[in-house]
Every structure is written in structure tokens, then in C-alpha cells.
Structure 1
Amino acid sequence: MLLFVLSLTSLAILVRIVANPLANVFQKQLTERSAEPLFVTAATYGFLSLVCLAVVTLERLVGLSTAFWTNMTACAVLSVLGNVFLVRAMRIGDLSVLGPINAYKAVVSMLVGLVLLDEQPTLAGLTGIGLIVAGSYVVLRQPGASSPLSMAVFGRADVRLRVLALLCSAVDGVFLKKAIVVSSPLTAFSYWCLLGFGLSMGWILLAQRAHCASQLRVLWTQRATYLLLFLSIGLMQVSTNIAFEGTSVGYALALFQTSALLSVLFGYQFFGEQNIMRKLLGAGVMVIGASLIIVLG
């Protein structure tokens, strides 16, 4: 039984590592074809909600505790915001740049622990922060820049949006883990979809109702890419939930960071992004730094 759990968790982590950058590829492709980030987010939640309602038994969706609802609602709100920020960032930025920035999630987690829990960073944690910062400058530095180290890169709109998405996802993971503990990965996934769809559709009706007809046309013409996005996001979230149930959040997040390397490769393969070797080097340094913080920090 133990070997089965370990193998299932390992498979889930592997699927998540591949599915995350693939989802980013399809998100970027859709926004390049006139899809609005909020509609991409709502359509993703909507399709996955239909799948959940078709396969999940009613018994799994009722009789849940107050703790579940509190954590799941907080997770859903942050998840919707994070997804919209992420897709907006993908629309205007390079996948090979924005993917590795996710390693900063480990820094955010450490700062939250320092402020809220008075957890003092270890030498490994401080070393990890240094590696992430150094690696990010390698990834973000523009060719021909007068200085390799400049905070100006964080003033870019795509980087700011990606950091906002990262902040949301760093916090929503905590609430998601708590919701899984008092329910199950499948139940938490179902309400992640249903609540996310309700929140994103409410946002559309309040702020972007006039664009609904045009966005539905885009959805139909780009239905193949949308379907690939739905599948990759579904696999990513289900595998995340299984990984969180089967191992510590810190260990899982450390392994998830390796998807940064795939983001760089996918940026080159699908969008012809340049300076790939430099970005791979920087992303690799950031992965090592994130792993030090999460596992040893």
C-alpha cells in the first residue's frame, strides 16, 4: 500500500511538472488570438465544472464542514485572481521569462512565515533567496543592457502581473491544503472548479458583459486550443491535489519548480523566444534556490 501511495504521488508530481507549462502555452496562444484573460479563466473553470458534475457523486459534495467552506472559498477567490493575472501576463510577456519567476513563490512563503509565524530563515533559506534573485536576473536581463543587475526589470507590466499571480497562488495553496485535509482531493478539486466558475462569471457579468458574444465566437473558432487548455489545467490541478495529499506541501512545491526549465524550452519551441541557453541557466539556478528554501530552509 505504501509503495502504491508513493508511486501515485510521484506520478502526480511528474504530471503536474509537465501540465503547468503546457497550460501556459495554450493560455498564451489563446490570448494571441484575441481571447480575453478573464474569459479564458471562466471557460476553463466552466468546462471542468461540467466534468466534475458528470463524474463526481452527490455524496462527495454535501455534508462538508465549516472549515472546508472557509478554506475553499478563500482558495477560490485567490485562484481566480491569480489565474486572471497569469493569463494577462502571458499575453504580453515571454513564457521563457515568466515561467521561471514562479520560483519566487518559495521566497514569498518564507517571508509569510517570518512575518506571521516568527520563523527565522536558516542559512540554507538565505542561500536559496540569493540563488533565486541571481537566477532571476540572468533570466530577465535584456541583451545589451548596460548592467546585468537592475531592479528596473520588475517594473515591466508582464513581470508585475506574474508576481501578482504568484502571490495569489502562494497563499491559495495553503487554503487548498487545509480544504483537502478535511475532505478529499476530488472534493476539493470539484469545488475549486465550481466556485471558480461562479466567481469568474460574476466578474464577467459585472465588468465585461459587452464582450460575451465576441468571446464566444473566439471560443468556438479556437475550440481545439481551448480543449487542450482545459485538459492541461484539469490534469495540473488534480495532480496538485493528489501530491499535496501524499506528501508535504514544501516537498511537492520544491519539485514543482522544475517546470521552470520546461517553460523556457516551450517558449523556444512554440513561440521562437530567444536566448534560451542563458534562460535555462538562470532557471536552473532559481530551481536550486527554491528547493533549498522549501526543503532545507
Structure 2
Amino acid sequence: MLLSGLPFLSLAIVVRIVANPLANVFQKQLTQRAANPLFVTATTYGLLVLVCLVFWPQLQFTGLLPEFWYSMLITSLFAMLGNVFLVKAMHLGDLSVLGPINAYKAVVGMLVSIFLLNEIPGWWGLAGLVLIIAGSYMVLNDRRQPEQIFGKASPLRLFQRPEVKLRLAALVFSAIDGAFLKKAIILSTPTIAFFYWCVLGFGFTFIWILFTIRLTWRAQTRLLLVQKRTYLALCLTVGLTQMASNITLANMPVGYALALFQISALVSVLFGYHFFREGGIIRKLIGAGIMVAGAILISTLG
């Protein structure tokens, strides 16, 4: 089967590592231009649904098991919440900080998969966890922050920053959704799971819009037309990210897959410097490198 071949799987992992931080760049650019995070997420889902209907007319709509629908409903709800919190975090914080923080997803995914999929980590996995924590402290320990002017801030103080709390909430939701997504993929295919991830995600965000930003959707739609190229670029990169994730999850344990994805932390730091001129590049690269080392330990030896 093509999707299970090693070269194709390796390509999917590489695409995921590059496309995800690039999607974060477009999300941050849109929120800097007054786009609402919820509207950005809903539009991304909606555009992806249209792409699916046009290019994949052979998608399966019937004959799927009840367990598939149960898993997809949970997956889509958690993914939607994670995406909205992620875009909001990108609006408030630096990509070069929030990208590496995503390495904690490997930890959450590993813990969830223990109970849901019976995937038990080893001692190397625990060592990887320690490295991820140590590396994240280096990434976050920015002396330009007000609370650090007169000395080092405590680790707990660093994690109280609003953008970091939002990013942590986003990764918890997305890590949990990854475990349920794998169950849905096992019961169908990566393509079918991708389609319903888009459809249900759009449905959840649309309902949320009706209750929260129904008075401003016209202004957001006008901004969509002005920023259509950025929205299309975001749609492309999110689509590539999710499809590559589905292919990888279909062929690897959840904890290992999420750990490998964290190599994108280094790409996020570089993109943060290139697109937004974020500072502390050397310190953040070192910290991100330590976190990547921890993720590799989890993925290969954990």
C-alpha cells in the first residue's frame, strides 16, 4: 500500500515538520491584520471541505462504524478548540517561543496513548520528557520580559504568560485529539478521516461563531476578501499538515509520531526570526534543539 511505504511515510513526516510552522506564520500574519482567531479557523476548515468535495468525489459517506463517528466527533471538537487557542496564542506571542512549546504535545500524547491505546513508554521516554522541560525553560527564559528584569523568573512564572497558557491549552486539546484521530483512521482511511475532520471542525466553529461573533462576521468576511492570498496559503499549509499527520498516525504510535513532529520547533524559531524579526535566536535555537533531542528520545527509544 502506498501510504504505508517507508519513503512515502518519510515524505509525510518532512512535509508535516515544514508545513505546520509555515501555517503558524500565516495565522500570525492574519491576526496581526485584525482577523478573528475563530473566524480564521472556521474559514480554514470551510475551504478544506470545498477542496475535498472537488478533488475526492470517491469519499465514503456510508458504511462507517459507530465507533468511527464517536472518535471523529471527539477528535473534531478537540481539534477545533486546539486550533482556535493556537491562533489566539500566535496573535499574542512570538512564533519562535510558541513553536518549541508545542514539544509538550509529545508528552501529552504519550500519556493519553498509555490509557487509550496501551502504548507504554520506557525509561528513554522519561529522559526525553526531562529534556523537553529543560529546553522549554531555556526558550521561555527571556530577560527582556518585565518579570525577569531583576533576575531569573521561576519556571511557574514563565508559564503564567497568557500566550503560553493558550499554547499549552491548544497542545493539550490537539494531543488528545491525535489519540482519537488514530482510532478513526484505523477504522477508515487517512483520507476519509481528514475529510470528516474538516467537515465536523467547520460545523463546530460555525456554531461557535453564531454565539460569539455573529455581529462582526461581515467585517471579517471583507477582511477575508482583502487577505484572500494569505487565507489560501493558510488553507494549503493546514491541509498538508493534517493530511501528513494522518498518514503518519496510520503507520506509527501516537506518542512517537507527535514526538517526531516536534522537530518543527527549530523551523518555528527560524521562521519567527525571518518573518517577524523575533529576538534571542541563538538561545531559542539551543533550547529548541534540547527539546527536539527529548522528542527524538521519546520517538526512537521511549
| TM-score over 0.5 (shorter chain) | yes
Contact 1:71/1:176 (<8 A) preserved: yes
Instruction: Tell me the distance in 2 between the aligned counterparts of 1:76 and 1:100.
Output: 24
**How far off its partner does 1:127 sit?**
1.8
**Structure 1 residues 160-239: aligned runs within 5 Å:** 160-239=165-244
The TM-score normalised by the length of structure 1 is: 0.94
Q: Which blocks of at least 5 consecutive residues in structure 2 are unaligned?
A: none
Contact 1:9/1:247 (<8 A) preserved: no
Identity over aligned pairs, percent:
58
Cα 1:54–1:120 shift into 2, 3 Å: closer
Map Cα deviations across residues 75-105 of structure 1 (whole Å, 9 max, x no partner). 0000000000000000000000000011111
**How far off its partner does 1:130 sit?**
1.6
Cα 1:36–1:105 shift into 2, 3 Å: same
Instruction: Tell me the distance in 2 between the aligned counterparts of 1:90 and 1:152.
Output: 20
Match of 2:276 in 1: 271
Instruction: Tell me the distance in 2 between the aligned counterparts of 1:183 and 1:117.
Output: 17
The secondary structure found in structure 2 opposite 1:99 is helix
Instruction: Tell me the distance in 1 between the aligned counterparts of 2:251 and 2:24.
Output: 25
- In the alignment, structure 1 residue 69 sits paired with structure 2 residue 69: yes
Alignment: residue pair count: 297
Cα 1:114–1:55 shift into 2, 3 Å: closer
Of residues 277, 296, 299 in structure 2, which corresponds to 1:291? Answer: 296
The secondary structure found in structure 2 opposite 1:124 is helix
Instruction: Tell me the distance in 1 between the aligned counterparts of 2:59 and 2:117.
Output: 37
Match of 2:11 in 1: 11
Q: Which moved more, 1:105-114 or 1:159-168?
A: 105-114
The TM-score normalised by the length of structure 2 is: 0.92
Cα 1:214–1:183 shift into 2, 3 Å: same
Map Cα deviations across residues 180-204 of structure 1 (whole Å, 9 max, x no partner). 1111111000000111111101110
Q: CA RMSD in A?
A: 2.1
Q: Which moved more, 1:163-172 or 1:128-137?
A: 128-137
Of residues 245, 259, 262 in structure 1, which corresponds to 2:250? Answer: 245
**How far off its partner does 1:125 sit?**
2.7
Letter of the 1:150 counterpart:
P
Cα 1:191–1:4 shift into 2, 3 Å: closer
More helix by share: 1
Contact 1:181/1:245 (<8 A) preserved: yes
Instruction: Tell me the distance in 2 between the aligned counterparts of 1:59 and 1:16.
Output: 23
Instruction: Tell me the distance in 1 between the aligned counterparts of 2:113 and 2:47.
Output: 36
